[in-house]
């Protein structure tokens, strides 16, 4: 590292620790958001000086923010430059001059450094006496870097071209030693599991079981996620398009759902293990079912409290919707708890490492041949970090995917009827709708039932984990988990996307009606 950059690097480290303005800049990054309060204490735990030129230094800071539920680690590869390299760079005074600070991951020098160190399995010392280590396949020479890809709230995904492959590097911006995704990807790679993008390697701080994985590299696949594929399919079916689709979506989609059921069964079969250790499956017991019900009721209670606040707010329309939702939940609480008792049907079955947040957005459909690939094994974002790694019954993945089909139905319905946030509840009263809305509602409801049935039946037919379970027991277990998931969704939507609360509410109501039993 060029020693001329030392004052600027020290100034950036001081800004991470103490500058409110820098904290505000961090909070403006999509992946950071409200993870850490603007006045929360942040300490720099470690630092690695990566590479420099005459005008730019790349430095990786590992920062820690203490929180009541445990420390949050922040993975901060930063570009420190004398020129503004990106419009959103943070301007920081240094002595009589200034430097510009921006995220390094989307810049060519950082990705070149990354690819070169994957090639030679680099080991870079840190200032704290630890090391950054690269494990995995050599990637060949660096060629180019593309724009960041769509990612979830706490990760950054960048596409890189090397001499040997097209790569997606997933940077964990808030990394956690309990993140099980790297081990899952490595295990599935060793087992030659065909329904995930090929695992290429990882970047970690430290080594062994206690290492902190900062990012993983997988092969880039030209694809579209299944949620996008299905919602676009319904757009083509319900809205007149200039050119008709090459293949009608509605009649072909149940076969895709069936293939997804088979792939999900294969995933669980590959993750199941009877041997002692990290992967060993355990038995789902009564205390597990009780804990899952308690968590679901906690989500319900938290949602009811949020609805009270919303109902007393200044937005009259939002207040009306909140009052209506609260009334539905109160009137049907007994039925909700009855459905949750279906979790007892899991007693005696395995609980194990599963996907943990399985929905259509977590499955890619390969453009070349329609092959299905699972991604994002980190668990549900609203769970605490310890909860994300809990062992759970595989049927929970089945249930959460079934809930995802419901979201496709609602997005298609909302667009078809040009509806607002309450359009979801009209599906519960489809018998009273006028034409042509009534026909569209029946069509979408039939489709949801068909794809969910194909997915579930093909899953159960190909799973080796539920061979002794009667069909009615499997249905009870799946519906219990669907209710648990719908209550989680309701709390999540109420917190982040209140316009969507009637989607999980319709699911809760549908499950709670006698015809769903």
Percent of the chain with pLDDT over 90: 67
Task: Report the range of poorest mean pLDDT among 52-56, 337-341, 420-424, 495-499.
Answer: 420-424
Pairwise CA distance, residues 407 & 364, whole Å = 17
Give me the pLDDT at residue 423, please: 81
Contacts 24+ apart (CB under 8 A), 79-86: 79/103, 79/104, 79/107, 79/109, 79/110, 80/5, 80/8, 80/9, 80/12, 80/56, 81/55, 81/56, 81/57, 82/55, 82/56, 83/55, 83/56, 85/56
Whether the CB-CB separation of 184 and 213 falls below 8 Å is answered with no
β-pairing, 363-366 vs 223-225, is antiparallel
Which DSSP letter does residue 383 get?
S
Categorize the per-residue pLDDT at 68 as very low, low, confident or very high, splitting at 50, 70 and 90: confident
Which DSSP letter does residue 47 get?
E
Instruction: Compute the radius of gyration of the chain from its Cα atoms.
Output: 25
Tokens, residue 279: 């992967």
Topology classification of domain 249-353+392-516:
Aminoglycoside 3'-phosphotransferase; Chain: A, domain 2 (3.90.1200)
Q: What is the end-to-end Cα distance of the chain in Å, rounded?
A: 66
Pairwise CA distance, residues 417 & 409, whole Å = 12
For residue 381, pLDDT over 80 is answered with: no
Task: Report the range of poorest mean pLDDT among 351-360, 365-374, 507-516.
Answer: 507-516
Categorize the per-residue pLDDT at 241 as very low, low, confident or very high, splitting at 50, 70 and 90: low
- Phi/psi of residue 151, each to 5°? -140, 180
Give me the pLDDT at residue 385, please: 64
Whether the CB-CB separation of 11 and 42 falls below 8 Å is answered with no
- Count Cα atoms within 13 angstroms, Cβ side, for 320: 5
Give me the pLDDT at residue 515, please: 47
Whether the CB-CB separation of 114 and 160 falls below 8 Å is answered with yes
Q: Which residues, 6 or more positions from 399, have their beta carbon under 8 angstroms from its beta carbon? A: 478, 479, 480, 481, 482, 484, 485
Q: Is the dihedral of CA 189, 191, 192, 196 positive or negative?
A: negative
Give me the pLDDT at residue 338, please: 95
pLDDT in tens, 112-137: 999 999 999 999 999 999 999 999 99
Are 109-221 and 249-353+392-516 equal in CATH topology? Answer: no
Average pLDDT over residues 482-488: 96
Tokens, residue 517: 């039993």
Task: Report the range of poorest mean pLDDT among 38-42, 322-326, 365-369, 437-441.
Answer: 38-42
Whether the CB-CB separation of 223 and 373 falls below 8 Å is answered with yes
Q: Which CATH number fits domain 109-221: 2.30.30, 1.10.10, 3.30.200, 3.40.50?
A: 3.30.200
Tokens, residue 323: 């009052």
Give me the pLDDT at residue 278, please: 85
Give me the pLDDT at residue 67, please: 80
For residue 34, pLDDT over 80 is answered with: no
- For 147, the enclosing helix (H) or strand (E) is strand 142-149
Residue bearing tokens 């709230």? 153
For residue 134, give the 3-state DSSP assignment.
strand
Give me the pLDDT at residue 17, please: 93
Whether the CB-CB separation of 171 and 222 falls below 8 Å is answered with no
Which DSSP letter does residue 177 get?
T
Give residue limits of the domains in the chain.
3-32+41-102, 109-221, 249-353+392-516
- Phi/psi of residue 231, each to 5°? -65, -35
Residue bearing tokens 């005459």? 54
Single pTM value for the model? 0.92
For the CA atoms of 489, 494, 496, 497, the dihedral, rounded to the nearest 10 degrees, stands at 90
């Amino acid at each position: 590292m060029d020693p001329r950059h030392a004052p600027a690097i020290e100034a950036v480290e001081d800004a991470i620790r103490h500058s409110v303005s820098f904290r505000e800049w961090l909070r403006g990054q999509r992946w950071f958001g409200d993870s850490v309060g603007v006045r929360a204490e942040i300490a720099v735990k470690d630092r690695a000086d990566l590479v420099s030129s005459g005008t730019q230094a790349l430095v990786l800071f590992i920062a820690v923010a203490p929180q009541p539920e445990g420390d949050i680690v922040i993975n901060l590869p930063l570009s420190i430059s004398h020129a503004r390299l990106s419009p959103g760079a943070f301007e920081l005074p240094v002595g009589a001059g200034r430097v510009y600070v921006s995220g390094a991951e989307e810049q060519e020098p950082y990705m070149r450094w990354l690819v070169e160190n994957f090639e030679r399995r680099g080991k870079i010392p840190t200032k704290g006496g630890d090391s950054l280590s690269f494990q995995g396949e050599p990637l060949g020479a660096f060629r180019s870097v593309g724009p960041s890809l769509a990612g979830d709230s706490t990760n950054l995904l960048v596409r890189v071209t090397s001499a040997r492959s097209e790569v997606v590097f997933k940077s964990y911006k808030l990394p956690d030693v309990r993140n099980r995704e790297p081990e899952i990807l490595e295990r599935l790679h060793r087992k030659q599991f065909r329904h995930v993008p090929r695992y290429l390697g990882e970047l970690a701080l430290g080594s062994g079981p206690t290492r902190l994985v900062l990012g993983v590299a997988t092969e880039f696949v030209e694809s579209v996620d299944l949620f996008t594929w299905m919602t676009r399919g319904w757009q083509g079916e319900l809205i007149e398009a200039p050119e008709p689709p090459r293949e009608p979506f509605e009649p072909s989609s149940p076969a895709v759902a069936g293939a997804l059921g088979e792939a999900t069964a294969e995933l669980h079969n590959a993750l199941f293990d009877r041997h002692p250790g990290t992967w060993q499956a355990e038995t789902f017991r009564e205390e597990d079912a009780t804990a899952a019900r308690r968590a679901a009721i906690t989500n319900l209670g938290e949602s009811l409290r949020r609805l009270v606040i919303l109902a007393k707010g200044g937005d009259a329309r939002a207040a009306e919707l909140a009052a209506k939702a609260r009334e539905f939940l109160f009137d049907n609480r007994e039925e909700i708890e009855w459905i949750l008792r279906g979790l007892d049907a899991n007693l005696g079955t395995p609980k194990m490492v599963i996907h943990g947040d399985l929905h259509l957005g977590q499955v890619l459909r390969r453009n070349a041949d329609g092959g299905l690939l699972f991604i994002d094994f980190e668990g549900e974002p609203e769970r605490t970090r310890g909860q994300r790694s809990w062992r759970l019954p595989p049927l929970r993945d089945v249930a959460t995917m079934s809930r995802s089909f419901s979201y496709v139905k609602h997005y298609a319905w909302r667009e078809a009827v040009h509806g607002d946030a309450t359009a979801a509840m009209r599906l519960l009263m489809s018998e009273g709708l006028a034409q042509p809305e009534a026909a569209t509602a029946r069509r979408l409801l039939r489709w949801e039932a068909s794809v969910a049935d194909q997915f579930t039946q093909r899953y159960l037919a190909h799973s080796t984990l539920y061979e002794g379970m009667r069909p009615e027991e499997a249905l009870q277990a799946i519906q219990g988990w669907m209710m648990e998931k719908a209550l989680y969704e309701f709390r999540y939507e109420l917190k982040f996307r209140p316009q969507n609360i009637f989607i999980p509410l319709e699911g809760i109501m549908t499950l709670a009606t006698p015809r769903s039993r």
